[in-house]
Amino acid sequence: MNNDAIILDGSSLTRAQVAAIAYDGRRIALDPAQLVRVQQTADFLADKVSCGEPIYGVTTGFGSNADKLLGAHRARDELPGGNPERRDDTLMEELQYNLVVTHAVCVGEPFAPPVVRAMLAIRVNTLMRGHSGIRASTLQALAELLNRDVIPVIPQKGSVGASGDLAPLSHLAIVLLGGGEAFVGGQRLPGAEALARAGLAPLRLSFKEGLALNNGTTQMLATAALALHRMEQLLEVADLAAAMTLDAFAGRTGALKPEVHQLRPHPGQVQSAANLRRLLAGSTLADIPYHLVPRFRTWLASSWSHPQDQAARFDLSWDYVPPAQRHGKESFYARFLPFKGGKKHQPQDAYCLRCAPQVHGAVRDAWSQACRVIDIELNAVTDNPLIFPHMENAAVIEDQVVSAGHFHGMPLALAMSYLKAAIPVLASIAERRLNKLVDPANNDGLPAFLIGNEDATDSGFMIVQYTAAALVNDLATRAHPASVYSIPTSANAEDHVSMGANEARHVLDMTDDLSDVLALEVYTAAQALEYRQDMLNAARRLADRGDLAEFAAKVQGAPGPEQADHAQFRDEVAALMQALREAGEFRAGDAVRAAFARVREVVGFMQRDRAMDAEVQRVCALVRSGALLDRKA
């Protein structure tokens, strides 16, 4: 047994293990003790068949054909169209074979290999519970597909989510029979050739094995589990993007205080607020006094006289509030100096910053609810009928072979519907933060579109917001729940279905666009943060030189030397210079600075317009890979 293998026993598979199997190529091994139980159930079923017991899907047809019993002899040997290679099959073997080959009818592009690897692992795990009637040898053959990297070609569209994912799982199972197609080493091959390439032989299915292989919630569960794995990372990215943006705004952290969230303790909200506080720890930008923050002014050749500042890409300015305009506001100006720069004199930020814990937290709670459902489903039995070989005092076969409805995907479908509605919400608030960064009416003193634009030729980050807006709109139009539209199947024998396969597939696809929206916010926030830090530190250097006249030249609305308020103005400018000197270096939070450094490894500051397409792709790749959060990812 491979020591690196993940052992499947039907009861302990986790989302993290599914992700490791899907993305990291981890092998699987079957728990020996549980494999004995699997075989005992198959032997029990074979014994009941030999006794002539009527059993759904074994000695009867499927779905609307459930009322048709299989005869002892074939009634259509002379009919054209039969498969001569399978003429020796019993009717029960033919039933299982036909179930698989006639149900493999999906269309569309194939699922990516990680999704199929997840499907294989999940299907093996649920069959390991020992209630499905599959033989141990067949289950081991299914596990070998995964371990030998034979990846069945499964087109993405064709499941209605009850009876389970019949069509896609038939594409998975048909390769075991030597049919269909599979990828081996990245090459798409006929199923029989793929098996031969991997050193495997086609199978003949026994009692109920076709039904065990294709009846269950495996496609929707695999895509849901991988979507939740991605969402876990993107929730962290969303908090990081919000923190970077809040630092770029020199925003307020009062709305993040733990005592605030104790008054409305939704778990996700509390967690997001705590995470934002952690990310902003060490920031000297957040909660900065209003009067310290200068406003961007377009660079001119005459903007800076000192050699140390010649490389500056901006000029700075403050507006002076003369004594005559402070009447009734004396208490405010007792705390803050009478200068208006980049920060508005208001104690609260816009909703996209102030309400980030509430919005991000609500999405976290939707994710947590989906995790609860998926974690149960990963170790559930989802085919039909269910076999209970060890049930004592069973009077009739129906007590031990029970037709039920665990294949119905509605628990997963509704959980995915909830998350599907939450994804555009998280993308939308990120786009609103991005928009605020580039809008000079709302970005608290940063340059329009985050570019100096000295010659009026630059667009800066203007169109980045367009792309984010387009993605948010696309996500919103895809957020409508599939689970509310049941279309009956199988001649109304299956008259209510979940559409959970569509729901989970949509969610997994939508995580890509959410990732890109968050990446666009991070890309833009890095530019804004660099401007904010550089502008504040330039102001501090200017104050450090102690030249009051040089500093006062950056203040608009100053009284002239002949005016009575001039001496007071000079004293207040000196006080502003002193406050800047005492503030020390201006910097973002420690975690924000680490993420900013990772962004700067792939894209630099944009001083003048340049081609941005490759930069956007690099930042999107940085977020998708997880490397923005962890250099080891």
Residue 86, pLDDT above cutoff 90: no
| Active-site choice (23, 56, 97, 333) | 56
Residue 317 pLDDT class (50, 70, 90 cuts): very high
pLDDT of residue 68: 75
Residue 77 pLDDT class (50, 70, 90 cuts): low
Residue 3, pLDDT above cutoff 60: no
Q: What does the buried/exposed string (b/e) look like for 340-361 if buried means 16 or more CB atoms within 10 Å of the residue's CB?
A: bbbbeeeeebeebbbbbbbbbb
Beta strands 6-8 and 28-30, pairing class: parallel
What's the first-to-final CA gap in the chain, in angstroms?
Answer: 28
Q: Determine what percent of the chain is predicted with pLDDT higher than 70.
A: 95
**Residue ranges per domain, the chain?**
6-216, 228-369+414-625
Residue 1 pLDDT class (50, 70, 90 cuts): very low
pLDDT of residue 494: 86
State the CB neighbour count (10 A cutoff) for residue 280.
Answer: 24
Chain-centroid distance of CA 545 in Å reads 49
pLDDT of residue 173: 97
Residue 389, pLDDT above cutoff 60: yes
Residue 64, pLDDT above cutoff 70: no
Residue 322, pLDDT above cutoff 70: yes
Among 17-21, 49-53, 261-265, 576-580, the minimum mean pLDDT is found in 49-53
Q: Which of 227, 251, 301, 630 is nearest to 437 (CA)?
A: 251
pLDDT of residue 353: 97
Among 169-183, 237-251, 387-401, the minimum mean pLDDT is found in 387-401
How would you classify residue 81: left for phi > 0, otherwise alpha for psi between -120 and 50, otherwise beta?
Answer: left
pLDDT of residue 83: 66
Mean pLDDT of the chain: 93
Q: Is 137 helix (H, G, I), strand (E, B) or coil?
A: helix
pLDDT of residue 75: 64
Q: Kindly give, in sequence order, each residue whose CB lies less than 8 Å from that of residue 520, ignoring residues fewer than 6 positions away.
A: 430, 431, 434, 464, 465, 467, 468, 471, 616, 619, 620
Q: Which residue has the higher pLDDT, 139 or 493?
A: 139
Residue 346, pLDDT above cutoff 50: yes
Note the pLDDT tens digit of each residue in 261-277. 999 999 999 999 999 99
CB 140 within 8 A of CB 127: no
Catalytic (active site) residue 56: yes
CB 158 within 8 A of CB 505: no
What's the CATH number of domain 6-216, 2.40.50.140, 1.20.120.80, 1.10.275.10, 3.40.190.10?
1.10.275.10
Helix, strand, coil % over all residues of the chain, rounded to 5:
55, 5, 40
Q: Average of pLDDT values for 569-576? A: 98
pLDDT of residue 516: 98
Q: Which residue has the higher pLDDT, 393 or 218?
A: 218
One-letter identity of residue 369: Q
Instruction: Enumerate the β-bridge partners of residue 6.
Output: 28
pTM for the structure as a whole: 0.94
d(CA 131, CA 38): 7
d(CA 277, CA 256): 7
pLDDT of residue 2: 46
Note the pLDDT tens digit of each residue in 576-610. 999 999 998 999 999 999 999 999 999 999 999 99
Residue 632, pLDDT above cutoff 80: no
Q: Do domains 6-216 and 228-369+414-625 have the same CATH topology?
A: no
Q: Which of 86, 31, 118 is nearest to 210 (CA)?
A: 86
pLDDT of residue 56: 76
Instruction: Return the structure tokens found at 57.
Output: 């899907």
Among 202-206, 254-258, 344-348, 377-381, the minimum mean pLDDT is found in 344-348
What are the residue ranges of helices labelled H in 487-562? 500-544, 548-552
Residue range 228-369+414-625 in CATH 3.40.190.80: no
Q: Which residue has the higher pLDDT, 98 or 394?
A: 98
Q: Average of pLDDT values for 248-253? A: 97
Residue 122, pLDDT above cutoff 80: yes
pLDDT of residue 220: 97
Beta strands 187-190 and 181-184, pairing class: antiparallel
pLDDT of residue 390: 84
pLDDT of residue 321: 96
Note the pLDDT tens digit of each residue in 428-473. 999 999 999 999 999 999 999 999 999 999 999 999 999 999 999 9
Note the pLDDT tens digit of each residue in 516-564. 999 999 999 999 999 999 999 999 999 999 999 999 999 999 999 999 8
Among 85-99, 120-134, 276-290, 338-352, the minimum mean pLDDT is found in 85-99
pLDDT of residue 633: 35
